[in-house]
Chain A
Amino acid sequence: MSTRLSKGGRLIDRAHAIEISFNGKRLRGYRGDTLSAALLANDQMLVGRSFKYHRPRGIVASGAEEPNALVNLGAGARAEPNQRTTTTEAFDGLVAASQNHWPSLDYDIGAVNNLAARFLPAGFYYKTFIHPRPAWKHLFEPIIRRSAGLGKAPAEPDADRYEQVYAHCDLLVAGGGIAGLQAALIAGAAGARVMLLEQTAHWGGRAPVDGDVIDGKPAEEWITATLDALGKMENVTLKTRCMVAGVYDHGYVLAEERVADHTPGDGRPRKRLWRIRATRVLSATGALERPLAFAGNDIPGVMLASAVRDYVGNWAVSPGDRTVVVTNNDDAYRTAIALKEAGLEVPVIVDARAQANGALPQKARAMGIRVEAGRAIVKVKGGKRVTGVALGLMAGEGAVLEEIACDAVAMSGGWSPVVHLWSHCGGKLTWDRARAMFRPDAARPPLTQDGSALVIAAGAANGALTGAEALADAAEAGVAAVKSLDLKAKTTPIGKAEAVEEAMIEPVWMMPQGAKASLRMKMWLDFQNDVKVSDVQLAAREGYQSVEHTKRYTTLGMATDQGKLSNINGLAILADALNEDIPAVGTTTFRPPYTPVTIGALVGEARGEIFQPLRRTPMQGWHEAQGAYLEPVGLWRRPYCYPRAGETHEQAVNREILNTRANVGLLDASTLGKIIVRGPDAGRFLDMLYTNVMSSLPVGKCRYGLMCNEQGFLSDDGVVVRLAEDTWLCHTTSGGADRIHGWMEDWLQCEWWDWKVYTANVTEQYAQIAVAGPKARLVLEKLGGMDVSKETMPFMTFAEGELAGIPARVHRISFSGELSYEIAVPASHGLALWEKLVAAGAEFGVMPYGTEAMHIMRAEKGFIMIGDETDGTVIPQDLGLDWAISKKKADFLGKRGQERTYLASPDRWKLVGFETLDGSVIPDGAYVLDAGTNDYGFRKAQGRVTSTYHSPTLQKGIAMGLLRHGPQRMGEVVEFNTMAGGTVAARVVNPVFLDPNGEKQNG
Chain B
Amino acid sequence: MLILECPYCGVKAEETELQPGGEAHLKRFGPGSSPEDFEAYMFARKNPKGVHFERWRHAYGCGKWFLAARCTATLEVFGTYPAQSPEPPADLVNKIKAKRPEWKGWK
Contacts and interface: CB of A to CB of B under 8 A. Distances in A.
Interface of A: 248-252, 277, 425-426, 447-451, 710-711, 742, 745-746, 749-751, 753, 890-891, 895-897, 899-900
Contacts of A277: 14
Contact of B42 (A451, A750, A897): A897
- B interface, size bucket: 20 to 34
A447 B75 CA distance: 7
A249 B99 contact: no
B81 to A, nearest CB: 13
Interface in B17-49: 19, 21, 28-33, 35, 38, 42
B42 A710 contact: yes
Q: Classify the interface of chain B: helix, strand, loop or mixed.
A: loop
A589 B21 CA distance: 29
B6 to A, nearest CB: 13
B75 A896 contact: no
B86 to A, nearest CB: 10
Contact of A896 (B33, B73, B74, B77): B33
B42 A711 contact: yes
Contact of A249 (B30, B75, B83): B75
Given A249-B15, A745-B63, A425 B28 contact: no
Nearest to A452: B76
B31 A449 contact: no
Interface string B36-77: 001000100000000000010101000111000000011111
B30 A896 contact: yes
B3 interface: yes
A891 B2 CA distance: 37
- Indicate the member of A449, A710, A742 with the most B CB atoms within 10 Å: A449
Q: Name the residue in B14, B65, B75, B76 with the highest tally of chain A Cβ atoms < 10 Å from its Cβ.
A: B75
18 contacts: A248-B1, A249-B1, A250-B1, A426-B74, A449-B3, A449-B76, A450-B77, A742-B59, A746-B65, A750-B55, A750-B65, A750-B84, A751-B28, A891-B30, A891-B31, A896-B38, A897-B42, A900-B38
Contact of A753 (B1, B42, B57, B84): B84
B84 A749 contact: yes
A643 B63 CA distance: 42
Contacts of B38: 896-897, 900
A250 B74 contact: no
B21 A896 contact: no
Given A745-B63, A749-B65, A252 B77 contact: no
A899 B65 contact: no
Contacts of A711: 42
Interface of B: 1-4, 14-15, 19, 21, 28-33, 35, 38, 42, 55, 57, 59, 63-65, 73-77, 83-84, 99
B42 A742 contact: no
Contacts of A425: 75
A591 B31 CA distance: 47
B99 to A, nearest CB: 7
Given A248-B1, A449-B2, A753-B83, A895 B31 contact: yes
B37 to A, nearest CB: 10
Nearest to A753: B84
B65 A426 contact: no
A865 B15 CA distance: 33
Given A248-B1, A742-B57, A745-B65, A449 B77 contact: yes
Contact of B31 (A746, A753, A896): A896
Q: When A and B form their complex, which 3 residue pairs have the shortest distance between CB atoms, in order from nearest?
A: A252-B1, A451-B76, A447-B74
B34 to A, nearest CB: 10
A899 B34 CA distance: 11
Contact of A426 (B14, B42, B75): B75
A116 B15 CA distance: 51
A223 to B, nearest CB: 34
Given A447-B76, A746-B65, A753-B83, A250 B3 contact: yes
A249 B76 contact: no
A899 B75 contact: no
A65 to B, nearest CB: 28
Nearest to A711: B42
B83 A750 contact: yes
A813 B59 CA distance: 32
Contacts of A448: 75-76
A228 B29 CA distance: 67
Contacts of A251: 3
Nearest to A748: B65
A303 B42 CA distance: 60
Nearest to B33: A896
A746 B75 contact: no
